[in-house]
Homo-oligomer: A and B are copies of this chain.
Amino acid sequence: MVLIETSKGVRTLTLNRPDALNAFNRELWGELCHAVEEAKSDNSAKVIVITGSGRAFSAGADLREKMDTNGQDKWTQSPSVGVTQLVDLLVDFPKPIIVAVNGLGVGIGATLCGLADITYMAASARLRCPFSSLGITAEGASTYTFSRLMGHQAASWFLLSAQWMDATQCKDANLALEVFPDESFMANVMERAEQLASMPLASLIETKSLIMAPHKEQLHAANIRETEGLARLSGGPSNIEALQAFAEKRPADFSEIEDNK
Contacts and interface: CB of A to CB of B under 8 A. Distances in A.
Interface string A196-240: 101111111111111101100010011001100100110010100
B199 A132 contact: yes
Contact of A200 (B96, B151, B238): B238
A257 B202 CA distance: 10
Given A202-B260, A211-B143, A260-B202, A149 B149 contact: no
A7 interface: no
A137 interface: yes
Interface majority SS (helix, strand, loop, mixed), chain A = helix
B156 A238 contact: no
Interface stretch (A79-87, A104-112, A160-168): A160-168
Interface string A95-134: 0100000000000000000001111000000000001111
Interface in A14-31: none
A232 B209 CA distance: 13
A211 B117 contact: no
Q: How large is the interface on A (under 10, 10 to 19, 20 to 34, 35 or more residues)?
A: 35 or more
Nearest to A236: B202
A24 B210 CA distance: 23
Nearest to A139: B210
Contacts of A145: 152
Contacts of A157: 117-118, 177, 192
A13 interface: no
Q: Which 6 A-B pairs have the closest CB atoms?
A: A200-B238, A143-B210, A132-B199, A151-B174, A132-B203, A117-B156
Interface of A: 9, 43, 94, 96, 116-119, 131-138, 143-157, 159-163, 174, 176-177, 192, 195-196, 198-211, 213-214, 218, 221-222, 225-226, 229, 232-233, 236, 238, 242, 254-255, 257-261
